Amino acid sequence: MEVKRLNKAISETGYCSRRAADKLIEEGHVKVNGEKVGLGVKVSATDAISVHDQIITKEVRNIYLVFHKPVGITCTTDTKIRGNIITYMNYPERIFPVGRLDKPSEGLIFMTNDGDIVNKILRAKNNHEKEYIVTVSKKITAAFIKKMGNGIPVLDTITDTCNVEKINDYTFKIILTQGLNRQIRRMCEYLDYEVTKLKRVRIMNISLNNLKPGKYREFTERELQVMNRLVGNSSKTEEASL
């Protein structure tokens, strides 16, 4: 049976990072099978890990959900924050979001309990496409579309070239492989446009389609197979925002 370091096992549940897990262990807040343990302990899948006397591991199937996040919901696991995604979904098992989608935006976000796939998806520079439909405050020009696609100064860098397509006078589609903080809003602001509506409709091979705001569904078997293939060669780099 596979064994792994305790801090790694804790981080893979999505509870916290390895560094934060080390601190919890050092401070005596972590137990394995009811006994306090120290740093460096190794555990297997059959061991029960608890933090602050709350079990964070148990034998549950891997959960992969497609969720249509409504406007106003915050992508955080901190249930003390009003409007957090965990309380809103009220899912019966412990899950967490993959990446972020800011509070004023809506659309597709993945929810899972599989820390391994989270790490793979969040690794940058792997050309994981994210598609958005964006509405702005004034008429879209050909120059706007060209500049958005060729790169915009954002957060001390220039955004990567990307596919941008006009839908109508006030709405465009954009496909990103980057994950800079509030990237689309910042790009539009640079060109003196204000985003009035932003909706993510696709991440990699999975689309929102007709899923209504506030609703979720499980990945199909085919979607999961393709996803695993797409992230199979993810390289370790800085984490990016979805």
Q: Annotated active-site positions, please? A: 102
How far apart, in whole angstroms, are the C-alpha atoms of residue 124 and residue 171?
28
How far apart, in whole angstroms, are the C-alpha atoms of residue 57 and residue 53?
12
Contact 205, 110 (CB under 8 A): no
How far apart, in whole angstroms, are the C-alpha atoms of residue 17 and residue 11?
5
Residue that is written with structure tokens 């972590």 in the block: 30
How far apart, in whole angstroms, are the C-alpha atoms of residue 229 and residue 128?
12
Nearest to 127 by CA among 231, 201, 239, 198: 231
Contact 130, 175 (CB under 8 A): yes
- With the CA atoms of 7, 10, 12 and 15 taken in that order, what torsion angle do they form, in degrees rounded to the nearest 10? -130
- Helices 221-231 and 115-122 cross at an angle (nearest 10°) of 50
